[in-house]
A and B are shown apart, each in its own frame.
Chain A
Amino acid sequence: MQFDSCFDIIGPIMVGPSSSHTAGVVSIGKFVHTWLGDLDHVTITFYGSLASTYQGHGSDKAIIGGLLGLSSRDLNIRSAYALAKDRHLDYHFTLVPDAPPDYHPNTVQVEAASRAGTLHIIGASIGGGVAMIYAINHQEASINLGTGVDIDTIVAKTKKEVSDV
């Protein structure tokens, strides 16, 4: 079940304009920031609908905002590029409008590096502000980043599971 909480439906409280192309994308970025801390370099790949319509939905600002640790209701998402410059975040975007057929239309891949290490994730923003992480460092995963989910807790738990493998 991907939408479990009443707050997945009535929520999130968020900066517009799109729950799937803005808010859910922030959560994917924030997952990476929570995992690695302040980032030095990041390569972002937008697939499918995200690659076609990111400008109109501010998806680029959303992912950068999340990668800087902002939450989806933080108005500073609008100024994510300026903030990235201030914090010396080196970022690159790749757009793949024709997503592989088994990918959700709103898939994002992030390769990130910080002093703490590196991380490669594939996730998707599945609608209504809910995001999923489908792969971590090329291992399959199924992590729900719903509205009621505490990202700190989920990252700590996932890190432990990964190190146990």
Chain B
Amino acid sequence: MTETMKDIVAACQERGVSLGEWMIQREIERTGGEREKIFAQMQERLSVMKEAVAQGINDLEETTSKLSGGDAYRMHQYNQTTDPLSGPTISKAMEAAMATSESNAKMNVIVATPTAGSAGILPGIMISLQENHHVNDEALTMGLFAASAIGYVFANHAFVSGAAGGCQAEVGSATAMAAGTITELRGGSPEAVTHAVAMAMKSLLGLVCDPVGGLVEVPCVKRNVIGTSIAFSAADMALAGIESRIPCDEVIHTMHTIGKDMPGSLKETAEGGLAQTPTGLQAAQRVYQRPCNL
């Protein structure tokens, strides 16, 4: 069986390293590749994230379904001209998350983190940490290694696809990864990281995958946006020394159990939840007018 969060924390403590450093060392050992090349590969992902956001906040176009698009621009304008209630850190993350998820819905190029449906959350928190807290590209890249260490546990001990485990496996995992990454980048210990991960995941347990028309738009885009604020809340709690009363690995195991129990209608089939509302069904009808060549 692959490493649990507990195993990774123990290894980090033994070597005196961060989760990000543990993950890059693991990748070097696994592939025999050079550190610089592996680091550059991850840095390329950060660059693609930034490009998607830069493009997305200026894109007013709607998607072909007309279910999303243009909201990142609205959020950006609002943030520029007012004093957002969520404060600069969270409001910037919301805007960047929205830009990424809208780009994804338009079939633009994004980075799956861990999936495309949940691709907005990590870029959201990364860009905000850079803009508001002066975290440089090198640190952010190490943050992506930390995020992948957390996601690696979720993917191998539970699941990261909505079809297999519901939205809790996608937006839930991504939000937990983001919470842990913020904690690490703000100087939290590996153990504090696991508490942030656990607290973020606990607040999203049971979330179903109910995309309108089977599109990655409603409710996916806004769930990514709100995921960033959950990530910052969980990280702030962990950095304050607050612990999750249920250990992180038990929370991940619970997500797996709930996902297995979840009915198929709520796992990316568009047969339940918001997909089956009158408005959702109308939207689906428009989309399903495009058959593949049967």
Give me the interface of A with B, judged by CB distance under 8 Å. Answer: 1-23, 48-49, 52-58, 60, 73, 75, 77-78, 81, 91-95, 104-106, 126-129, 148
Q: A19-B115, A93-B293 are in contact. Are A3 and B152 (CB under 8 A)?
A: yes
Quick one: which of B24, B108, B161 contacts A15, CB cutoff 8 A?
Answer: B108
Give me the interface of B with A, judged by CB distance under 8 Å. Answer: 2, 23-24, 26-27, 30-31, 38, 41-42, 44-45, 48, 65, 103-117, 119, 122, 144-145, 147-149, 151-152, 155-156, 159-164, 169, 177, 211, 213-217, 264, 267-271, 287-288, 290-294
How long is the Cα–Cα vector from A57 to B217 in the complex, in angstroms? 10
- 5 pairs of A and B residues whose beta carbons are closest in the complex: A127-B161, A53-B214, A56-B214, A16-B104, A9-B151
How long is the Cα–Cα vector from A2 to B157 in the complex, in angstroms? 10
Contact B107 A58 (CB under 8 A): yes
Quick one: which of B111, B122, B216, B264 contacts A56, CB cutoff 8 A?
Answer: B216
How long is the Cα–Cα vector from A53 to B275 in the complex, in angstroms? 11
Residue of chain B at shortest CB distance from A129: B112
Contact B292 A17 (CB under 8 A): no
Contact A13 B109 (CB under 8 A): yes
How long is the Cα–Cα vector from A23 to B152 in the complex, in angstroms? 19
Quick one: which of A73, A77, A104, A128 contacts B114, CB cutoff 8 A?
Answer: A128
Q: A6-B152, A13-B44, A17-B107 are in contact. List 14 more A-B contacts (CB 8 A).
A: A3-B156, A5-B30, A6-B148, A9-B155, A10-B144, A10-B151, A14-B112, A56-B214, A56-B215, A106-B161, A126-B164, A127-B160, A127-B164, A128-B114
29 residue pairs of the A-B complex, CB under 8 angstroms, read: A2-B155, A2-B156, A7-B42, A9-B152, A9-B160, A10-B147, A11-B45, A14-B109, A16-B108, A18-B216, A19-B114, A19-B115, A19-B116, A21-B268, A48-B269, A54-B214, A56-B65, A56-B211, A56-B214, A57-B215, A92-B293, A93-B294, A94-B294, A105-B164, A105-B268, A127-B161, A127-B169, A128-B114, A128-B160
Contact A128 B115 (CB under 8 A): yes
Residue of chain A at shortest CB distance from B113: A10
How long is the Cα–Cα vector from A19 to B114 in the complex, in angstroms? 8
How long is the Cα–Cα vector from A164 to B189 in the complex, in angstroms? 51
Contact A127 B24 (CB under 8 A): no
CB distance from B264 to the nearest CB of A (A): 8
The winner among B103, B152, B290 for most chain A CB atoms within 10 A is B152
